[in-house]
Amino acid sequence: MNNALRILLGKDLVVLDGDGTLYIGSRPLPGAREFIRFLDEHGKRYVIMTNNSSFSKEHHIKRLRRILGRFFSYDEVFISTEAAIEYLYDTGVRRVYALGTPEFIHDLVSSGIHHDPERPEIVVIAFDKTLTYGKLVRAVRHIMAGTPYIVVNPDILCPTDRGYIPDTGSIWALIRTATGKDPMAVTGKPSSLFLNYMLRKLSVRPSDAVIIGDRLYTDIAMANENGVTSILVLTGETKIEDLVNSRYRPTFVVNTLIDLLK
């Protein structure tokens, strides 16, 4: 058994990233199904933690079942949207204007946040695959008039079946360029807010978890900043040469999840 796997088996919780780690688009990555089966066979507790705020939680669960062939419960899947909702509640905000998909807005509204395009207390920037110029104009006008904004996840690109597509981070770049203003918070990975929200729900300490992900500036950054052991997989955005100049240091690096089982 390799060192990374031995350390992993000694932890209480395995936190798995989605896009680029377990799947790309609707296809499981090599070793993803085998790895999940291995964790189940060893009675290992694990969750999926994803920054992809374009799908509702319900949709994520359906996709995971289709892609990985296993049913995940509500407590086994965490999306950046939940961290954003937690943040809004903590700051007492109830009225927002969101750049988000109808599924994202559904999750906001069903948790008691009002979607108010006219008089928001905060503008929320999410992974809006239904973005229009009119929505951008509205968001920019609110922010320039003094309404603060938050960013649900900082990812610049999202891998899909047909290549990379612009993610929330790219929309954020446009908003920042237009307004010259920075957000009040970025709530998805690498934010400690998201990690703490999840670990609190699961009653797990950071030192008892291990994070597996494909991104240095989200998955590994969050692990580093919170004292969590991490495993970088090279099936997504990061190439081995990116490690040389990176300020983020994964505890272990493997090419694919298959290598972790060797």
Min separation Cβ 220 and Mg ion, Å: 11
| Sign of CA pseudo-dihedral 211, 108, 237, 249 | negative
Which residues 6+ apart lie within 8 Å of 140 measured at CB?
175, 178, 179
Closest CB to Mg ion among residues 190, 236:
236
The CA distance from 190 to 215, in Å, is 10
> Is 86 a residue that touches Mg ion (CB under 5 A)?
no
By CB under 5 A, tell whether 20 contacts Mg ion: yes
Q: Is 155 in the site for Mg ion (CB under 5 A)?
A: no
Residues whose CB is less than 8 angstroms from the CB of residue 62 and which lie 6 or more positions away in sequence, other chains included: none
Q: Looking at 11, 19, 154, 199, which residue binds Mg ion (CB under 5 A)?
A: 19
Cβ closest to Mg ion, residue 105 vs residue 254:
254
Q: What is the DSSP string of 107-153?
A: HHHHTT-EE-SSS-SEEEE---TT--HHHHHHHHHHHHTT--EEES-
- Can residue 169 be called a binding residue for Mg ion (CB under 5 A)? no
> What is the x/- site pattern for Mg ion, positions 197-216, by CB under 5 A?
-----------------x--
How far apart, in whole angstroms, are the C-alpha atoms of residue 17 and residue 215?
9
Min CB(19)–Mg ion separation in Å: 4
| Count of positions on this chain that bind Mg ion (CB under 5 A) | 5
Cβ 138 to Mg ion, closest distance in Å? 30
Binding site for Mg ion (CB under 5 A): 17, 19-20, 214, 236
